[in-house]
A and B are shown apart, each in its own frame.
Chain A
Amino acid sequence: MTAHPMPPSPLLQVRDLRTWFDTFGGVVKAVDGASFDVGRGEIVGLVGESGGGKSMVGYSIMRLIDPPGRIAGGRILFDGTDLCGLDERALRKIRGREIAMIFQDPMTALNPLYTIGDQLDEMLRLHTGLSARERRLRCIEMLHEVGIPQPEARLGNYPHQFSGGMRQRVVIAIAMIAGPRLLIADEPTTALDVTIQAQLLRLMKHAVEKRGASLILITHDLAAVSQMADRIVVLYCGRIVERGRARDVIERPRHPYTRGLLDSIPHQGLKRRRLSQIPGTVPDIRKLPPGCAFAPRCPMAAPVCRESAPNLVGGPSGHAVACHFPLEAKAA
């Protein structure tokens, strides 16, 4: 490794990423020209509705896109290395060791046939040269860190002997045990009870911070992101509509879509409701309108919005927005 020039470059640089799916109904542009950075030790929230392409960004970074999907363009620079140019062998050295990923459903994220000790150990066997005893200690330590009581005894248990929240803790332990520098969490708490969502988010934040690792939190839950993330990227129909420091985006949203998402968060203490403030639904991504994809649902759409798509304007680290009529800075 060469010394990094000052200031240190971001850990992950996604540039003009295009993840397309070739289907009979035409090319589905699940991600179409997304660019963003993840700094070292930074937590970035990737936000949007279902079908917005946010999961596909995570899968693309992991190079998990299977046919008929493909990365049609762009670069994914991880610590200077373009992940798009790596072959399977090289990727296997990155996956798990450098970049780890957590999925939505803890009920199926663990193999039902192996003990959790075995599944934790698999990561260490794969990515470290530790002895069996050292690995065991590391596993116990890791389970302890994610808040599993009596870790020694629990190592020999099977996934079905854990509750959903406990399983997601185990999943986090498995993801973090090999010491990755980037964790991608794809809707990590969506399948869980609301009461433990916050606990697990905090746990993930601690685990990442302790190691100086970065975190990409993919979620539709803007409220969760606003408490955790340093920066927020808002995706709509495969394109980034707004990007900036968490505080700026939450307090001074400039895109009507972000504004709509924020407005649809109920006030503290109330039960969450369905998103109802944004009229209409996410359009069929195969038949996007020629102009701004959000125009059909946008309260302030003008004729120009239906003709030409706005570009993302603003510096890569500043507050950028893709809108012909960005909202004026005002408190949300």
Chain B
Amino acid sequence: MSASTLDRFLASELVHNYRRNLPAVIGSLIVLGFAFTVTFGPGLVAQDPYDIAQLELMDSFKPPAWLEGGDPAYWLGTDGQGRDVLASIVYGTRISLFIGLTAMLASCLLGTTLGIVAGFHGGWLDAVIMRIADIQLSFPSVLTALFLMSAFGTGIEKVLIALTSVGWVVYARTVRGSTLREKQREYIQAARVSGLPNWKIILRHILPNVLTPIIVVATIQVGTFVLIEASLSFLGVGVPITKPSLGLLIKNGFDVLFSGLWWISVFPGLVIMLLVFGINLLGDFLRDELNPRLK
């Protein structure tokens, strides 16, 4: 059974189109590379940059290995505390991706639930939920997150809350729209006349039929969240210094950037770029494939 399902999947149009779509292949390779890095990276780099015992102040501000004065032990150089930039990036990517993925899952769960309830129930509940969403949308998401973080103070869980409270809206709106459309379909009416309770209609008949757009939104949103988190941390209201994400690494190097110590900021910046680029390539592919209107 599972073998035939796999065969069917491999023979599907999605897989067929994927193989012929170079950006999608590149995007997924980048994403896979990051998945590998955050899973096994800490075991591969020599240093734990947040274990003070492992830091050597003598090695501070070393340039990348291939430049004059570089140390082959530190490929991408070190920062002011003698932290290996490469090791910092590996650890920082873990934090950035963890925040991006977790906040995406939380937003998705919250937004999808509220969207389905609003669309299915209608009436006052729909009005209340969607007006909150509208208000939320009338502020730029970075601004809302910035405001919330200023109120909360720094911390990973606070970043998650801030991102979720700006991120749920897009799911709620998408899902509500799809739910309204699906609700008109006769099979939903048929499910109602067959005596199915509402929660079963929602879980069995509506949810699976509104999932497709969610997948696309969720993929792209991981990239967006990584960027927002980086902005927050860069502005000093994101993650704490003890758990630096990629954004905080950029900020740490930014102070000395104009003294010619460019590698501390630039490498984490490039990594963010690559990560978001890979995610977006993948997201664009999914959007094109899963949206019948674009075919």
Contact = CB atoms under 8 A, between A and B. Distances in A.
Given A66-B122, A113-B208, A96 B195 contact: yes
A286 interface: no
A267 to B, nearest CB: 34
Nearest to A91: B195
Contact of B194 (A105, A112, A174): A174
A109 B187 contact: yes
Contacts, number: 63
B193 A96 contact: yes
Contacts of A94: 195
B192 A95 contact: yes
Size category of the B interface is 10 to 19
Contacts of B44: none
Contacts of A122: 194, 196, 204
A103 B189 contact: yes
Contacts of A109: 186-187, 190
B195 A113 contact: no
A8 interface: no
A104 B195 contact: no
Nearest to B193: A101
Given A67-B122, A103-B186, A111 B209 contact: yes
Contact of B209 (A91, A112, A123): A112
A127 B195 contact: yes
Given A111-B209, A113-B208, A97 B187 contact: no
A171 B187 CA distance: 10
Contacts of B205: 111
Nearest to B209: A113
Given A67-B122, A67-B123, A113-B209, A100 B186 contact: no
B178 to A, nearest CB: 13
Given A112-B209, A113-B209, A64 B192 contact: yes
A interface residue count range (under 10 / 10 to 19 / 20 to 34 / 35 or more): 20 to 34
A126 interface: yes
A97 B194 CA distance: 7
Contacts of B187: 108-111
A206 interface: no
> Which among B122, B194, B205 has the highest number of chain A CB atoms within 10 Å?
B194
B196 A126 contact: yes
B194 A126 contact: yes
B197 interface: yes
B295 interface: no
Nearest to A123: B194
A115 B38 CA distance: 40
A126 B186 CA distance: 19
Nearest to B197: A92
Interface string A112-131: 11000000001100110000
A62 interface: yes
Contacts of A105: 186
B19 interface: no
B197 A103 contact: no
Given A111-B187, A112-B209, A100 B194 contact: yes
B252 to A, nearest CB: 49
A95 B205 CA distance: 17
Interface in A5-21: none
Nearest to B191: A111
Nearest to B198: A88
Nearest to B194: A96
A216 to B, nearest CB: 13
Contacts of A93: 195
B20 interface: no
Nearest to A59: B189
A92 B204 CA distance: 17
Contact of A64 (B189, B196, B198): B189
Given A103-B189, A110-B187, A95 B209 contact: no
A123 B195 CA distance: 8
A96 B209 CA distance: 23
B190 A103 contact: yes
Interface string A122-158: 1100110000000000000000000000000000000
B193 A95 contact: yes
6 contacts: A91-B195, A94-B195, A113-B209, A122-B204, A126-B196, A174-B190
Given A64-B192, A101-B189, A109-B187, 11 more contacts: A66-B122, A92-B196, A93-B195, A94-B195, A95-B194, A96-B194, A105-B186, A110-B187, A111-B191, A122-B196, A122-B204
Closest 9 CB pairs between A and B?
A: A96-B194, A96-B195, A95-B195, A101-B193, A109-B186, A103-B186, A92-B195, A111-B187, A108-B185
Interface of A: 62, 64, 66-67, 88, 91-97, 99-101, 103-105, 108-113, 122-123, 126-127, 171, 174, 178
